[in-house]
Every structure is written in C-alpha cells, then in structure tokens.
Amino acid sequence: MENLDLLTYIYDMIDWVMFILIILAGMFQKKYLSGFRLIKDKHMDGSWKTFLVGGFFVSSYIFLSHIGTEIPGDIWVVAFFTFVFTTSCYEMALKAVVNIVPGFKKHFDPPKEDQP
C-alpha cells in the first residue's frame, strides 16, 4: 500500500503542462540553438540550454497562469520536481519513442548544412 501512496504523491507533484513545455523546450533548443555553444562539452551544452529554455517557458507559464492572483509558494517546488521527472523520463523512454515514430524526429532535428 505504501508504494501506491508514493506513486500517487509523485503523480500529484507533476504539472503536466510544465511536463510538455519542458519537452518542447528541449526540442526547441535542439533545432534552433544547435549552432550556439553555451559550454564546451556537447552533451552538457544541450542540457544547460534545455534547462534555460525550459526555465523560461515554465516561468512564463507560471506568471501568465496567475495573472491577477498570487503565485502559490509551492509552485516552484512542483516546477523543480516536474523538471527533474521530465528530463529523466525523456532520457529513459521518450527519446526512444521520438526516434521510432516515423517523420516526427525530422521536424525537431537541427537543419543540415549544405555541403558542396
């Protein structure tokens, strides 16, 4: 029974709109920011750009969804937990799905340079 309580707690801590925004932020940075280097390490560069773009997307969502109301203090905890869950979920499962679905991946790959 404790396992079910833990899964319910985790499910309740995830904001699914933020989940989608973070996935889209990763795809956005991969397609449109691939020529820009933030740091030298190629793998960490993508992670940092996803973190920054995702942070911008999620912060914008939080501020826009609470116009005229007070932003609850725990929303930042939910955003952090959702970010950690989303990036882990993407690395473990969603990346394989994106690569399998025909035609989906080509829309999010960086443009290829024309070679002579």
- When divided into structural domains, the chain yields a total of 1
Assess whether pLDDT exceeds 70 at residue 1.
Answer: no
Strand segments, DSSP code E, in the chain are: none
pLDDT bracket for residue 56 (50, 70, 90): very high
3-state secondary structure of 54: helix
pLDDT for 9-35, tens place per residue?
A: 888 889 999 999 998 998 888 888 888
30 within domain boundaries: yes
Does residue 52 fall inside a structural domain?
A: yes
Overall pTM surpassing 0.85 (yes/no): no
Let me know if residue 110 belongs to a domain. Answer: no
Boundaries of domain holding 33? 2-103
In a domain, 83, yes or no: yes
> How do residues 75-112 score in pLDDT, each as one tens digit?
999 999 999 999 888 777 766 776 777 666 665 566 56
User: Is residue 113, in this structure, part of any structural domain at all?
Assistant: no
Query: 80: part of which helix (H) or strand (E)?
Result: helix 75-89
Does 37 fall in a domain?
yes
Residue 108, in any domain of the structure: no
Q: How many CB atoms lie within 10 A of CB 49?
A: 22
